Amino acid sequence: MTKKKNFREKLKKIIKDEKLVSEIENLFNEEVDSEIVKYNSSFENYFFAKTYCNKEECDVTYSSSIYTVIGYLAEQIEELPNKLNSIIHEDDRLRIENGMTEFFNDNEKLNISISYRIIDKNDDIIYLNESISAKRNKSGKVTEYNSIFYNISEVEKEKNNISELCKELRNLNRVKDKFISIVSHDLKSPYTTLLGFSEILLNDNSLPDEEKLEYLTYIHSSSEHQLNLIEHLLDWSRMRTGRTEVEGQRLNLKNLISTVVSKFTGLAIRKNIEISQNVKGDIFINSNEKQLSKAISDLLQNAIHFSNKDSAIFIYGSRFKNGMIEVIIKDKGIGISADDQDRLFKLEHKHSREGTEGEQGSGMGLILVKEIMEKLKGDVWFYSKENEGSEFHITIPEAKNLVIIIDEKSSLSNSRSKAISEILPDYTILTANNAYEAMDFVSEELPSLILVNDSLPLLSGDEFIKLIRSKDKYFSVCIFVFTNRRVDEVEKRYDSFMIDGVYKNSIKNDELIKEIKKKLK
């Protein structure tokens, strides 16, 4: 009689109702099956083996769960000449054989734990840990032993990851120490000369004015250089520690570059260097104006410093690939030697050299540029040839071309959407019946153009635009307002929001398209 039948017979002695007995039996079996599933899942990374040893050989039996771990059936492994040892990784085999021989020859040792790699059925490497518990006879010979095998591949993977991380951290620490050493020297070295010159000026009243001016000029120049180094260090430190905001904003690339170039006009004029810009006006980027301007400023300043008199610098801006915009700053200056090129952007090789007119650099500019571009989800690289010039490339994410139309009347929104899509085929056009719905569209990135009805339910047009302008600090979003009221009255209400136009709701689509073309050209 099986155990199940025996259990049923015992129940029938206690409970006379046959139906109730069947229900209890079914319930019991379901609970047992559930516990078996739980038990098996707890051991899905394990399998077991029983080994009996006689004078001549050892006989091994593996549990069926070996299949879930290594992809081989127990029978397949048992038929191999050396059982599981046959698929041990060749680099581990000798170590395991020597370890097991040593264990067997130690007449007192009963337990051992060893780890090694095997090659599974798919030719993948699996890390196993084998824990052995043995029995010995009176003479100390092993007569049998039980093995528990556990798949430790994930553990080994984590160990390798931690090892790589530790290696990276050690390298970063080494770089940091070297960087601190270099910076400490750069910060300290000028002060000896500065103190010497200032001491002469304070104590020697007989110095001629010409010599005094020379000393003062050096003190001023050196102090300016040190201030530049300290500012770069502070900017770099804030960037590395996350204390600098890099929130993205929709920006017109041409306007941004023009603003940066205007700051260096005087410096360029002194060397008679022409700065030529070739950037299309319809390129918009999603970036942080302050940080991107700082990166471009550093690159442009370098181009001026290392350009000869009466030369030219070219700035290009164009669409790159994968939704990125590329900016190139190219000069025809002294270029960078092959040896120095390997040192650029590297913290442990802070590199600085004089410009063509003796201009001093902090050595931190390009390091900061790289840090900024990484934070802005872009990249920076360069090409250079000594005595021929250099060109530095940066990439910035392009802003999404998005138009949002907000109006209760879906027919009007759809009509305008169709007309706009014909002149702006690369733009995504979204429509909303109210301002709350539209706010979901601008939660991540601001659009290029908003067309909004002045009279909206729930949230009015001016309240909606106020929220948009609170996010749009640089007024980069073009906003058209439509109304049934007098245009001049509505314009006064929206005056502080810097909108681009107020129009009657009855405006024809062809007239509206002309206005859009003017604003987005």
What are the phi and psi torsion angles at 185 (to 5°)?
-65, -45
pLDDT recorded at residue 1:
43
Q: Is the pLDDT of residue 322 over 90?
A: no
Model confidence pLDDT, tens digit, residues 294-316? 899 889 988 999 999 999 999 99
Q: Which of 157-166, 214-223, 315-324 has the lowest mean pLDDT?
A: 214-223
Strands 312-319 and 501-504: unpaired
Q: Is the pLDDT of residue 73 over 70?
A: yes
> Residue 134 forms beta bridges with which residues?
145
pLDDT recorded at residue 392:
94
Which ranges of 344-434 would DSSP assign to H, the alpha helix? 365-375, 410-423
CATH architecture of 247-397: 2-Layer Sandwich (3.30)
What are the phi and psi torsion angles at 332 (to 5°)?
-115, 45
Say if domain 158-239 classifies as CATH 1.10.4190.10.
no
Cα separation values, 496 from 428, 454, 490, 493, Å = 28, 15, 12, 8
In terms of pTM, does the model score above 0.85? no
Sign of CA dihedral 21, 24, 25, 26: positive
Name the helix (H) or strand (E) containing 128.
strand 125-136
pLDDT band at 186 (very low <50, low <70, confident <90, very high): low
Q: What is the CATH number of domain 402-520?
A: 3.40.50.2300
Q: What is the CATH number of domain 46-151?
A: 3.30.450.20
Quick count: other Cβ atoms within 10 Å of Cβ 254?
A: 17
Q: Where are the domains of the chain?
A: 3-42, 46-151, 158-239, 247-397, 402-520
Q: Is the pLDDT of residue 441 over 70?
A: yes
Distance from C-alpha of 452 to C-alpha of 234, rounded to nearest angstrom? 44
